[in-house]
Structure 1
Amino acid sequence: MDRRAFLKVAGTLALAGISLPMSWGLETVWAQDFSHCPTHAPDNGVQDAISKIEEPAGGEEFLKVRFFDRDFNDDVYLPDNEMPLLLSSVIRFERIQRQIGHGNFCLAGFDDALACARSYAGIGPFSSREIDFLENLFQRPAGDYGFMGKKTVSRLTWQVPPGKTVKIEDTGQYLYKGRSEALYQDIRKKIGTQAVLTSGIRGVSKQFLLFLNKAVQSRGNLSMASRSLAPPGYSFHATGDFDMGEKGFGPDNFTEKFTRTRVYNRLSSLGYIQFRYGPRNHLGVRYEPWHVEVKG
């Protein structure tokens, strides 16, 4: 989908009364090369880099984790005729998040999103085609496009259990009471206030928005999107995991640069902290040194 086709989609949405939000950063998206097809291979620079790597156990599986933001020959793309549904769904979820607030949106279920969209004219109800698109995406096995993690939420209508969460001061995030909260508080006690919670509980709607945004950034490449972020229904943020970062480090907390911070070094030195997705994991997911595993 080239830039002209993308703009055509955006224009179609605008005619339908759906405006593209400024917060989306479309200038950055449009600056990318939007050309793709199911057989689009990695560029020569990546091919050269790959050829210099000693093939580890797992072969191409590991290379996909290492070069998570590149195209591979067998990547699975969203059909071009579903790109308008991808874009319009992202816009509606963005509007819902602005309407109810980021913290509340983290706990919102899919039914909550549908009800909110129906209630506010500025959002507009999800169309039947959008709902079908989202249901199909949720139900489709993520292994089809290379994500090998297990499904943590089996029902599209699943809700974060009421009364079992706690809002973490100064973060806008929620954690589950019990193991998650206790582990977080222990980390803060031992590392200090430089250790910050960057992402806690995510309901179905939040995970949809994050994954769909990744799918937009990857030009509809679902495999690439799933190497960076769990598809809806597969996130351990729904069951207790959380992300930690260093205060003032901003978006770099979600990159490998985080491993050079004091907070990461202290987390690692604690000994009992487990990270869900290691550098050579076999789940088809990039290395996430910020993602703290909370065992059930």
Structure 2
Amino acid sequence: MPPAEQILTPAALRDWPLPMPDGGKNSRGRVLVIGGARTAPGAAMLAGQAALRVGAGVLTLAVAESVAGPVAAAVPECAVLWLAETAAGSVAASSAEAIQRALGSAAAILIGPGLDDIDETADLIAALVSAADEDLPIVLDAYAIGALGQLPRAAREALAGRLLLTPNHQELERLLEAESEPAGSGSGPASGTDGPADPQRLLAERYGAVLSSDNRIVTPAGDRWEVPAGHSGLGTSGSGDVLAGALVGLLARGAEPVQAACWATYLHAAAGDRLAARVGSLGFLARELLDQLPLVLTELQA
């Protein structure tokens, strides 16, 4: 592992090689992505494909039943779970029972891409955490990050130590607002007035999570790494789903949480740099990042 508070260079990553599983697809881990409400099935698809692009072996997409058929046709490499949904098309918390049957074979799970109802998402996370093995890594993205503030304390405690978060700037601010609530006003801990000034470190510490945000990786212990790549062109619809998918894919391959976060953040940023050089600094699409991920990964592992 590179020293804490280090700039992550290609040389540093090469000295911190990813696991290279032998054998077939099962040796590279099974990824379960839970998301894809009726209004945003593409988010789960982007995340799942990113997981495969960084080397995960098997993919299952758990999405709202109204879009499950089209998702299965669009991503033929995946298995699909059809999830119950609300009248508005959101994934319903009652779908937890169907998802639980897939938890036992998963090497890592991602919750959030394409979910669009905070209350249903919070209830869904709480149910899944109680059923998942205590060492199963869990990545939360998008609406699942926003739901953290509504989780019961028991669910937060069960997540601590195996949780990874990928908040964008807005999600980071919303989490900080939830943390600033007076003690006793919600189900989670308040931040207090003497917490660390660094908001990313505060949240990593409070939730016992490895956090990747704005090309920075922070651990609950306060270790930090910066990725000197990427640019504003990555601020495009679906880009965060690609990052979260790359992260869960590396976890499935056997990378430790901190290593997976550092590598995924660098891969995502470097993929954006490659597209900027070819397409332009603005205007490339998140789905175009997918093709760049294995190329950057191969270069780093050369």
**TM exceeds 0.5?**
no
Compare CA radii of gyration and give the structure with the larger one.
1
TM-score by length of 2: 0.28
User: Which of the pair is proportionally richer in strand?
Assistant: 2
TM-score w.r.t. the length of structure 1 is 0.29
